[in-house]
């Protein structure tokens, strides 16, 4: 997935929250938004916009187990797991510099 596709998918998220309640990572981490699929999508947008330091979101992005459970509940059909995989690639490429 390209960075432009990642941006497009982040913008398609309607922030409804249906994905949050089914996320095993969100449940395991004490139900903090930072660990929810919706939270990760927001963080990915913030990374791409330069609004947040990459180092501050690594834990959230890497805590996703990419199970795709959230995709089943997403009315917009956003594959957060695929976005997370792309975000991980982007994070690694930025941190290696």
Per-residue pLDDT of the chain (97 residues; tens, 9 = 90+): 888 898 999 999 999 999 999 999 999 999 999 999 999 999 999 999 999 999 999 999 999 999 999 999 999 999 999 999 999 999 999 888 6
Domain that holds residue 31: 3-95
CATH number at residue 45: 1.10.1060.10
Quote the CA–CA distance of 17 and 39 in Å, as a whole number. Answer: 9
Say if CB 7 and CB 48 are below 8 A apart.
Answer: yes
Query: How many angstroms separate the CA atoms of 79 and 18, rounded?
Result: 13
Number of domains in the chain: 1
At residue 2, the pLDDT reads 85
pLDDT at 91: 92
- CA–CA gap between residue 61 and residue 58 (Å, rounded): 5
Cα 3 to Cα 5: distance, rounded to the nearest angstrom: 5
- What does pTM read for this prediction? 0.92
């Amino acid at each position: 997935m390209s960075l432009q596709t990642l941006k497009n998918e982040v913008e398609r998220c309607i922030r409804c929250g249906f994905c949050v309640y089914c996320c095993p990572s969100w449940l395991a981490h004490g139900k903090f938004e930072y660990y929810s699929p919706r939270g990760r999508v927001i963080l990915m947008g913030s990374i791409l916009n330069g609004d947040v330091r990459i180092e501050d979101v690594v834990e959230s992005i890497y805590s996703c187990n990419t199970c795709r459970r959230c995709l089943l509940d997403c009315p917009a059909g956003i594959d957060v797991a695929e976005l997370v995989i792309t975000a991980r690639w982007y994070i690694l490429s930025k941190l290696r510099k």
